[in-house]
Amino acid sequence: MASFNTVLHRTQDEATQNLLGTVDTPLPPPQPPPSGPSQLGPSVSNGAPIPPALEVTAPIGSAQAASRLMGTETEDTKRSRADDAQREKTEMQATCFRMVLNGEIESAEMGSGGHGPLMCIFSMQHGPDWTVVSGASDGITQLACASVPTSSFVTSWRGGLAEFVWSFPLGVVYKSTSPFGWPRIVVTVYGTDLCNRRVVKGYGSVHVPCQPGRHTRTIRLYCPLSSSPLTRLLGALFGNPAQLVDPRILAGTDGREVIRVQSGGKVRVHFDVMLKDTSSFNYAF
């Protein structure tokens, strides 16, 4: 068993070396001497910009991380593990900020247009500077019915407002270097028509609030209209009304002027926003 482990370690070691392209030369020793953490301590605590020497050592740090990932634990890597963690933290602080978004897609109100269960498909869109660090940026909720039957006399007397509660959780972590292209949530609400076919009931989008804290936003929905009354009628007959091929265009401004929409319906969304490392960028939110 022990011999097998040694062999395994050696093959993994070779794989790591091949991966890193450093077969001939052994792994370089960790650049900061073991007294590194004591030097790094104050700069991490007071958020000062990292010295340039640490940025130079970044590839070596990643090499060590890779070798640690592959399971080759040497004395050097052991010694510099704490050092690595400190350095990664410092680099993260200096190069990008994070936005942690939690929340929920709470409910929808469809007015008179809502019959039967509703479903929401959402997708978070962001600009080129932004990266999803963790979490799912899109999803599909359940099919929700209102507590009052929507076609009854009671709801029509109440103005046809029935609430469809999804309470679907959101949880995404982003990182970015600039607020330009701040994430937006694009929702598509699907319902059923009179013949129980699934049709689009509305689209909408809103940007994630830029301030930390809890925010509630109401997304007003709209449905695209066909260009002629004939196609409108045919779409209603065959359960195939006009819909957007790619709803993600709603997060941008391109091509919006050629769309005709019919307003109607609302979706209520709660956002819990946390911001991290924005002070080194001097951003005021």
Partner 1 sequence: MTALPAPSAPAPPAPVPAPKPRAPPCAPGDEFELHFIGELECGWDFPGLEVDDGLFVDYSCEAGMDWLPIARKEGFVGQTQTCYADAHGVYVFNHPIDFHYIADSVASWPQLHLQVFKLDAAGRVETLAYGSMTLPNACGHREVTVRTWRPLQRNVLEEARTVSSTSGADGALPASRAEVLHGEVRSKMVTKTSGSILVALDTIFRNAGKHQILTG
Residues forming the site for partner 1 (CB under 8 A): 111-112, 127, 160, 178-182, 184, 204-207, 209-211, 215, 219-222, 225, 250-253, 256-257, 259-265, 281-285
Residue number with CB closer to partner 1 (89 or 260):
260
Residue number with CB closer to partner 1 (142 or 211):
211
Residue number with CB closer to partner 1 (13 or 163):
163
Q: Which residue in this structure is represented by tokens 């990266």?
A: 131
CB of 208 to partner 1, least distance (A): 9
Collect contacts of 4-13 with beta carbons under 8 A, ≥24 apart. Answer: 9/71, 9/72, 12/70, 12/71, 12/72, 13/70, 13/72
Residue number with CB closer to partner 1 (32 or 209):
209
Q: Classify burial at 108, counting beta carbons within 10 Å of its beta carbon; exposed 0-12, middle 13-18, buried 19 or more.
A: buried
The stretches of 80-181 forming alpha helices (DSSP H) are: 81-95, 153-157
CB of 109 to partner 1, least distance (A): 11
Cβ count near 140 (within 10 Å):
13
CB of 250 to partner 1, least distance (A): 7
CB of 104 to partner 1, least distance (A): 19
Return the bridge partners of 134, or none: 173
CB of 129 to partner 1, least distance (A): 11
Query: Cα–Cα distance between 269 and 247 in angstroms, integer?
Result: 18
Residue number with CB closer to partner 1 (173 or 225):
225
Q: For residue 204, which phi and psi values (nearest 5 degrees)?
A: -175, 165
